[in-house]
């Protein structure tokens, strides 16, 4: 779909009577309508901001996930140590 086609589609997408937009998506519909009103340059800048935010968000999620994995690894190691200590204690009992 070309940029001109998107502008022409605005009346179909933003119409309150059409069933294309789901009932719980008013914010999404509003945002789509705003983006359809943007010039090509504004839309490109908006998309660049979105992708930058998306990359930053992905990096934050990756860092947090990596930290969580390290924590889980530490917990598993500690559980293994406790299990080993119990096993040794059983063999040392009279």
pLDDT in tens, 66-94: 999 999 999 999 999 999 999 888 887 76
Say if residue 12's pLDDT is above 70.
no
Q: Quick one: average pLDDT of 35-50?
A: 89
How confident is the model at residue 32, as a pLDDT? 82
Average pLDDT, the chain: 79
Say if residue 57's pLDDT is above 80.
yes
How confident is the model at residue 24, as a pLDDT? 55
How distant, in Å, are the alpha carbons of 22, 34, 47, 49 from that of 29?
9, 9, 17, 19
């Amino acid at each position: 779909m070309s940029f001109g086609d998107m502008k022409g589609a605005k009346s179909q997408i933003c119409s309150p009577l059409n069933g294309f937009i789901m009932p719980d998506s008013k914010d999404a519909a509003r945002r789509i309508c705003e983006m359809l009103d943007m010039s090509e340059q504004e839309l490109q800048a908006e998309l660049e901001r979105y992708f930058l935010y998306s990359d930053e968000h992905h990096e934050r999620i990756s860092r947090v996930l990596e930290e969580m994995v390290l924590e889980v690894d530490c917990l598993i190691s500690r559980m293994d140590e406790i299990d080993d200590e119990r096993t040794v204690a059983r063999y040392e009992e009279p």
